[in-house]
Structure 1
């Protein structure tokens, strides 16, 4: 997928060809940068991988190339999303999550790229980009299925992306001063038909005008030329005609090189004097002006003067006191109700104060004069109506852009009680531009708050997530209106306001009742992000489209904990049949599974008796070990061997759980070994008895129901669990696995018979002692363990007489 705007590229090519041979600029060598990153599935903003690339000044175009890869051919390629943002981290909403109210979401530059093919490089070209750091946010979207995967059953696939950036631009663009006029001389020759300059405005500028005058145009008189060609000798020269019009096309751009999309573009045409006024221009950055001969006019040569006229805010030498209304001097036009753009007062910059070492905990305050700066709150400020009050703050890279800029403004009621007018307060926060008297009400490119005394709401707050780097100017002004006619009038008393301007993590350092604010690091980039609970999403965990309430989370907790009570029948059966070790293991499993799920089931409603990792270990240990002891109890092995295997299994299962408790092998390995032992012992019994073991009755009434329950539980656990139905499916797993033990446990154990003693007596009375048999009655088919005389089982010497498998 190539994002190329043809006329932009053609425009740059033309500029390149023309400027290479001029004295204005020279094309510099390409700048390359490349890196490789790992991609993760998007859960919240903490899942994105962040990168940054610094675009040099005077860059003509920058090309971003992205190539996504998977870890193997068996892995299915997944779509990759990349967001590009200049000046700060991109705002990412891949699932259309809603933002909290009062969030300012306008971004200077934000681009979205989708990579849909494996191994195919995707190029994205941006012409005339803004200089400075560009940030990448890359991630994998969620799959359509939210099934919980077991690591060893799912393909172990890793995803990554290779990024290559190439930028091209110009060097040695001529710098001109705005304090004096510039003489410009252009011709129709290909290398001299345009001029490109750069300049910087004074830091207090609120308005400037670019003017072209004193034009001298030399053009060819086509009518005279036709006459001469018919009546005069062809060797006679054609005399040019002169004009005072200015057929010039003027393009002005801030920060980046001019392009066809530039906002400020003016064709002077037949005007004798041509001018362009820009309100609230960009400060602290290079400004560019491109002057081109208008091709619609038959111009051979043109000369003119380029002038700049600037207006700035009045700067105060000292900090304003809190009561500034009468202290400031009104200008001669103060009686006018219409503010001019330069009717403003520039206060001192606000200081940055950090009261503790927490990340993204910064307040902007006034610094009282003196040898030691003392922070003063921005409270009880009088806001005049005849001038705009302006101050500024600095948003820095690395330390500030990962948080949220918060602007809180509120009226002081006491200052409104004596007013005879309705008052409107205009507040504008604009990046790298000063809002003046004409632009504060519109605040077109900034963050705006408007408070009205006729409204019940006398305060307002605006949040700017991941604010862009730069100098942000805060401007305030009031307007008064007659209560009866609603006409604008002079304020008899300026209103007072309290202002809080700060940077915090997430949403005032919190994420509401459905999330927690945390700091994250991606490479060298630090940012705050909400970890949302119970299906809630969004920057502040305020999007409840798929969210669950606390009552629903409580139901999930009760299901997951109380479902463990189904182990009680298994414990009773184990005790009745004298499997005391197994009964202890089942009790252990029931208790720790319930306690673990009480801590793990929900992030909203939970109770953690001990450390979470310890609870998790105890739960997995009990669950896996229950399988081990149950299958050993079903095996026909001597008691001493069983006891040894139980102890050895406990040690092995503990090691496996500690190594990788969420892996399938922690369960499959001990269950597999126990199954080999069990089926091996059954096969040996079949060989010795020369008939089916266990008998059909046990298989039909005990083994099959128990195995069906066990495999049903494992199937639910392995293939049906999703994030949405976890509380139901996992509870079914608890029920199925605990009830399967009731069917699978063998019958009651009886006191053993001393086969050695019996065999010795037989040896004294028979020459074939080695082939002697002992006939024992079977009791396993009876629920109460009583012996029946109708069936018997032969146990060879060396068998465990204390075990009678159900038949």
Structure 2
């Protein structure tokens, strides 16, 4: 839940006790949205971390990454991005807290005004023991809120209107601002001062400047100076800080003025700082984040430009990224083709640049945003989770050959700007593209399969594709080891036991067939199959131990139902809690041992006999080995063969535990036994029959 409140110049945005999860991919992270509505010198994100559950030995870090105007892009496990992806970010701040820290603060000095996004997740630290293949029993919650003191600039510049400024002891520096209501213009700042002192002017887009944070800088010497402010897009705030180098100059007030004027680049001849820019419009399709940008006033899906050495034009196309497509990926496709004859070794290319808020030529472009397109080639560049801004794609013809070749050889470049969910390949062969919502922030992400990682599921460093088929066969076919147990139980007329073993075998087989990443066979919902598998496994143990006890069959039937209901209840509570499974086994096994002891004392001889105990011992060894493997040894990496071995050991151990059927005496044999009984009196016969123990009567058809 988020609350927003406004107290004068104080703004607060509050997220209360959000549960955060271990990082596997972007489907397990939380995105939180914050707005800074005005300029400020300091923004504080206060963070409270609390936990519940079994967290004593849980070693983890909490990541709190802040990104201006976009979802933060991160790879905590050093996953690689697809080759054509640009992963460099602007204004990204990463902070890591240890799980044991209950309170923390993230502070940003002079943050940019506008929308900020926080990326929050848990990074589990490696330990000597690998993680069990189950959900953690430690639940982590995060509470956070944003506070800042708004400090709007007191002076506002207006285009072509002079602004008077006074610097004095009471204000060693002062802020001024300008808003670009119209874009595609080359701006120039002119400043005049009635003093020979050095006046320092710093400029910054969308945030207050400082000595370490600025986009433009100049020093007014001898009373005058100017700043070329680039060809800026519309709807951008520019903030200026005006100060003096030597504070002694402020003994007397310093008077000065500032003036901004513009040059319209849409009709201006090309130079390094003024580039004509062509707007685009965005066509939306039926799917989230699916857009196509085409130049204004045209209906073609692609744009084509033809240039040669005699044409020095630079082309710039602008396209907007806003909150409707920050959750997808921007793709820019290029294809070049020589239009006339050229030597094979001719050094001809197209140079491109992607830039925010202003068009830039190749030589002033940020390194990771430069695009080199050789002749007769196809090039693709992609921006994952693009930053909200007006973006510019600038293209220019480049020839490093002889003047004759450069002037006579023409080359066309065809390009298309589009947006898609996840990746254009929809996460490829080993990934699934999903549309997610986190705190009302919508985004697309790839859920990778068979160990692949990365934004596009292209990092196969930890892939286990080679053992995928063996693991699927092991986990499903190992359940067939329950068939002998079912047959033996039916042969001994233990029909309830046979039904439980068959139930366990059936649902365990189809649960593991459904629990595959590539080819799934699900007879109904995954969660239902998983619950049925766990109930069947627990019940097989409980029913077998109760069957081994020496009590009347009617009481066993009651305990069968009680045990089954207990298995359902504890699995509904937490089916991944190994301790509750061990506790249930200890209680049931203790009950069976107690019945053996009571009967042994009552009959004054060991029950079961030594021979029978010797037959049980191999099953006991197998079952204990299986439980140790299941509870202690099983991890994510060895799950496929350790869990299969668990199936085999458990199913095999049942064969040693089931009571053996005694051949029923025929009527003739029973009469012979009666005749051989010494006859003293009819009362004696009746008393002798009445003296048969109750448990012996009820269990006359079975022994151990």
**Alignment TM class, shorter chain as reference:** 0.7 to 0.9
Instruction: Report whether the alignment pairs 1:169 with 2:150.
Output: yes
Q: Indicate the SS of the match to 2:353.
A: strand
SS at match of 2:683: coil
Secondary structure of the 2:617 match is helix
**Uncovered stretches (5+) of structure 2, i.e. residues with no partner:** 1-6
Distance between the aligned counterparts of 1:670 and 1:192, measured in 2?
Answer: 75
User: Is the contact between residue 557 and residue 605 of structure 1 (CA under 8 Å) also seen in structure 2?
Assistant: no
Higher mean C-alpha displacement, 730-739 vs 171-180: 171-180
**1:112 corresponds to:** 94
The separation in 1 between residues aligned to 2:456 and 2:331, in whole angstroms, is: 14
Rounded Cα–Cα distance in structure 1 between residues aligned with 2:272 and 2:8: 40
- TM-superposed deviation, 1:581: 5.2
Provide the C-alpha distance between the structure 2 equivalents of 1:651 and 1:68, rounded to a whole number of angstroms.
Answer: 38
2:698 maps to 1:800: yes
Q: Report if aligned partners of 2:340, 2:410 keep a CA contact under 8 Å in 1.
A: no
The equivalent residue for 2:432 is 516
Query: Which residue does the alignment assign to 1:724?
Result: 637
Q: Does 1:35 align with 2:15?
A: yes
CA deviation map 1:68-98 (0-9, x unaligned): 2223797457432211111111112222222
Name the SS for the 2:509 alignment partner.
helix
Retained in 2: the 8 A contact 1:62–1:166?
yes
Partner of 2:3: none
2:216 maps to which residue?
A: 264
Equivalent position SS for 2:87: coil
Change (3 A) 1:275 1:518: same
Query: TM-score scaled to structure 1, two decimals?
Result: 0.76
- In the other structure, the counterpart of 1:6 is none
1:711 matched to 2:624? The reply is: yes
Task: Give the match's secondary structure for 2:468.
Answer: helix
Q: Which residue of 1 aligns with 2:292?
A: 363
Give yes or no for the alignment of 1:434 onto 2:356. no
1:351 aligned onto 2:265: no
Partner of 1:594: 509
Aligned to 2:339: 416
Counterpart for residue 104 of structure 2? 122
Distance in 1 (CA, whole Å) between partners of 2:183 and 2:404 is 28
Q: Which moved more, 1:133-142 or 1:533-542?
A: 533-542
Q: C-alpha deviations, 1:1-22, integer Å up to 9, x for none?
A: xxxxxxxxxxxxxxxxxxxxxx
Q: How many residues align?
A: 684
Residues of 1 paired with 2:122 and 2:550: CA distance? 52
Q: CA deviation at 1:442?
A: 3.2
Distance 1:210 1:48, change over 3 A: same
For the residues of structure 1 that align with 2:85 and 2:91, how far apart are their CA atoms?
A: 17
TM-aligned CA deviation for residue 405 of structure 1? 1.5
Q: CA deviation at 1:644?
A: 6.4
Aligned partners of 1:164 and 1:304: how far apart in 2? 41
Note if contact 1:425-1:451 (Cα within 8 Å) is conserved in structure 2.
Answer: yes
Secondary structure at the counterpart of residue 604 of structure 1: coil
Match of 1:209 in 2: 188
Report SS of the residue matched to 1:178. Answer: coil
Please tell me whether the aligned partners of residues 248 and 291 of structure 1 are also in contact (alpha carbons under 8 angstroms). Answer: yes
Give the C-alpha shift of residue 705 in structure 1.
2.0
Q: Does residue 197 of the first structure (1) align with residue 197 of the second (2)?
A: no
Give the whole-Å Cα distance in 2 for the aligned partners of 1:660 and 1:160: 19
Distance 1:479 1:694 in 2: 93
The CA distance in 2 between the partners of 1:488 and 1:106, in whole Å, is 39
The match for 2:227 is: 276
Specify the SS of the correspondent of 1:537.
coil
Change in 2 beyond 3 A, CA 1:687/1:28: closer
Which residue of structure 2 aligns with residue 744 of structure 1?
A: 657
Q: Which residue of 2 aligns with 1:778?
A: none
Instruction: Confirm or deny: 8 A CA contact 2:54 2:138 kept in the other structure.
Output: no
Distance 1:747 1:56, change over 3 A: same
Q: Offset at 1:590?
A: 3.3
In 1: Cα distance, 2:194 partner to 2:546 partner:
106
Q: Secondary structure at the residue paired with 1:171?
A: coil
Structure 1 residues 592 and 695, CA, compared in 2 at 3 Å: closer, same or farther? same
Deviation digits for residues 132-160 of structure 1 (CA, Å, limit 9, x no counterpart): 11111122112424332677xx7x43222
State TM-score, norm by structure 2: 0.86
3-state DSSP of counterpart to 1:79:
strand
1:90 pairs with one of 63, 72, 78: 72
Task: Give 1:20-419 correspondences, 5 Å limit.
Answer: 29-36=9-16, 37-71=18-52, 75=56, 78-116=60-98, 118=100, 120-144=102-126, 145-148=129-132, 156-171=137-152, 173-186=154-167, 189-191=168-170, 193-201=172-180, 203-205=182-184, 207-213=186-192, 215-217=193-195, 245=196, 247-261=198-212, 262-269=214-221, 271=222, 273-281=224-232, 283-295=234-246, 298=249, 300-314=252-266, 340-341=271-272, 344-347=275-278, 349-356=279-286, 358-366=287-295, 368=297, 375-382=299-306, 385-397=311-323, 399-411=324-336, 413=337, 415-418=338-341
Which of 452, 471, 477 is the aligned partner of 2:396?
477
Match of 1:444 in 2: 366
Q: Which residue in 2 is equivalent to 1:319?
A: none
Inter-CA distance 618–304: structure 2 relative to 1 (3 Å threshold): closer
**Contact 2:543–2:560 under 8 Å retained in 1:** yes
CA change 1:265–1:665 in 2 (3 A) is: closer
Distance in 1 between residues matched to 2:133 and 2:276, nearest whole Å: 62
Alpha-carbon contact 1:194-1:292 (below 8 Å) kept: yes
Residue number among 538, 548, 563 corresponding to 1:634 in the alignment: 548
- Matched with 1:788 is none
User: Is this contact kept in 2: 1:204–1:313, CA < 8 A?
Assistant: no
Residue 543 (structure 1) aligned with residue 543 (structure 2): no
Alignment equivalent of 2:596, drawn from 679, 682, 696: 682
| Matching residue of 2:419 | 503
8 Å CA contact 1:430–1:473 kept in 2: the answer is yes
